Structure 1
Amino acid sequence: MTNQNRTALITGASAGIGAAFARHLAAEGYNLLLVARRAERLQDLADELKRDHGIRCDVFAADLNDPSAPAAIMAFADANEIAVDVLINNAGLSGKTAFADTPWPTLAAEIQLMVTALTELCHRVLPGMRARGWGRIINLSSVAALSPPAASLLYTGIKSYVLNISQSLDMELKPQGIHVTALCPGFTYSEFHDVMGTRDTTDKLPGFFWQGADAVAREGWQAVMKGKPVCVTGMVNKLMAATVRPLPVALQYRLGDRLNPFKE
């Protein structure tokens, strides 16, 4: 099967790393099913990719905070005879306020988006991938999952879950021709920190901490095609992860408490 016969489903595709994946895979000849909340931005990107690369590119506007969204996405794919060969679970966000001060519906939506929807989409695409004997799944984790914990926020715990479940799935599915990779970028130039409300803080970080979304997508795609279950992007992030992981848990706790750049 050539790339022209394969389709990638990308969530959070309207900007940042998701859009970078869309452009990268379109350039390689993959057809696309792009999912995000902003229908107009999705359609603009789809028009660009169809014009530049001659691929099929469908769009489906959905809010993955809605528990019904994963089923609706797959129903759309089935109705339009779209076989999902690649899944990029990219959609995500992070809160800024302390756990105890955040209303439960806000926390529940964060869990729904980055834990439940991600896991459900993996489960829903697997029957087709197994039947065809080929599949690629990239789940967006974070270097935060390999770093000391940060106070209050759900983000580190969620990304740790994504890291672990991706490795478990890869162990189970690789013999069936399906590779699963946890992609662990660090600070990436995108709209993420604007949405999170931490742009002023992150802008104070040195430039060497940052990567472009295109570089993250490129490294992630190379990793999943090579069958690597974990991909930490960028040399700085690799060095940080390699330094922190061997430290005693108690020391990681202290470092996380003192070095958290978002701590007020």
Structure 2
Amino acid sequence: MDLVRKTVVVTGAGRGFGRALALHAGRMGARVFVSARTLAAAQKVADEVAADSGARVDAFACDLAAPATVRGFAEGVAAHADKVDVLINNGARYLEGPDLWDADDESITDTVASGATGTLLTVKHFLPLLRASEGADVVNLISSAAEARNHRSSAHPAFYAAKAAQAGFADVLSHRLRPEGIRVISLYPPDFSDGDPLHSTWDQASRTADDPLTAQSVLDCVLFAIGQPRDCFIRSFHFEQL
């Protein structure tokens, strides 16, 4: 598949998997919009995308824990594009620590706000542009931490709470947007290797059941889901863990 004439928005694109998503979207011909907490981080990735593939790309500062910047991001994209075909909710703060006292109140609030409230507000403010697409997809990078009784992660309880809320929102959103033809696709990966999948040493033939999940495999799932005919609504990907 390709993304020619498609508009792709990626949150949390300043590094890691968000950066990889933006690079790959550019290589597939998409018009790309990226955000990160700071404009400098987002612009650095935008410059990489443009140099890598020649794609049209714009960068915005967007702190998902700050509602005004979420609104500003959506308004900024609307000034450059009349639709959004793929919205990828990748951004969310990770917080380490198994005990509640491992993080201060501000960090806990920021974690829940960026992962839960930030996703909800991003979809809310991009919804007019998604509705303007002939077939839009909302992709949520959630986490296996949102699965019931999955206690493998050493993440702070606030991260578990944020991801559980994100999952609940995605579930009801999928049901309510389906009549409009907008698909909501959620991925629940465990920890996986980060970075740019196309520069990884992991090729498809070399991956086995004994290997950890790779960023390329997660990206393959995203591309598979959004590449399906519009009568195919894949709601979620859950991954068996070692």
The two structures share one fold, judged by TM-score above 0.5:
yes
The structure-2 alpha-carbon separation of the partners of 1:212 and 1:73, relative to structure 1 and needing over 3 Å to count, comes to same
* Cα shift at 1:100: 4.1
- Are the aligned partners of 2:112 and 2:161 in contact in 1 as well (CA < 8 Å)? no
Given the alignment, which residue of 210, 214, 236 partners 1:212?
214
The structure-2 alpha-carbon separation of the partners of 1:38 and 1:210, relative to structure 1 and needing over 3 Å to count, comes to farther
1:163 and 1:33 map into 2 onto residues whose CA distance is 24
Q: Which residue does 1:180 correspond to in 2?
A: 184
Identity %: 25
2:30 and 2:95 map into 1 onto residues whose CA distance is 34
2:9 and 2:29 map into 1 onto residues whose CA distance is 14
Kindly provide the amino acid, as one letter, of the partner of residue 20 in structure 2: A
- Are the aligned partners of 1:11 and 1:18 in contact in 2 as well (CA < 8 Å)? yes
Gaps of 5+ in 2: 196-208
* Cα shift at 1:75: 1.8
* Cα shift at 1:82: 5.4
Gaps of 5+ in 1: 192-206, 241-264
2:167 and 2:157 map into 1 onto residues whose CA distance is 17
How many residues are paired up? 220
* Cα shift at 1:147: 4.9
Q: Which residue does 2:145 correspond to in 1?
A: 144
* Cα shift at 1:115: 0.6
Q: Secondary structure at the match of 1:189?
A: coil
* Cα shift at 1:209: 6.0
1:6 and 1:134 map into 2 onto residues whose CA distance is 10
What does the per-residue CA deviation read over 1:181-217, in whole Å, with 9 as the maximum and x for residues that have no partner? 11111111238xxxxxxxxxxxxxxx94632323212
What does the per-residue CA deviation read over 1:224-246, in whole Å, with 9 as the maximum and x for residues that have no partner? 443311012xxxx3266xxxxxx
Which protein has the bigger helix share? Answer: 1
What does the per-residue CA deviation read over 1:54-91, in whole Å, with 9 as the maximum and x for residues that have no partner? 32100012222223121110121123345322111111
* Aligned CA-pair RMSD: 2.5
TM-score normalised according to structure 1 size: 0.74
1:13 and 1:76 map into 2 onto residues whose CA distance is 16
- Are the aligned partners of 2:135 and 2:181 in contact in 1 as well (CA < 8 Å)? yes
Q: Which residue does 1:77 correspond to in 2?
A: 77
Q: Which residue does 2:45 correspond to in 1?
A: 45
Q: Which residue does 1:90 correspond to in 2?
A: 90
Given the alignment, which residue of 225, 230, 234 partners 1:228?
234
Q: Secondary structure at the match of 1:134?
A: coil
TM-score normalised according to structure 2 size: 0.80
| Higher alpha-carbon Rg | 1
* Cα shift at 1:40: 3.6
Moved over 6 A (4+): none
Q: Secondary structure at the match of 1:168?
A: helix
Kindly provide the amino acid, as one letter, of the partner of residue 154 in structure 1: A
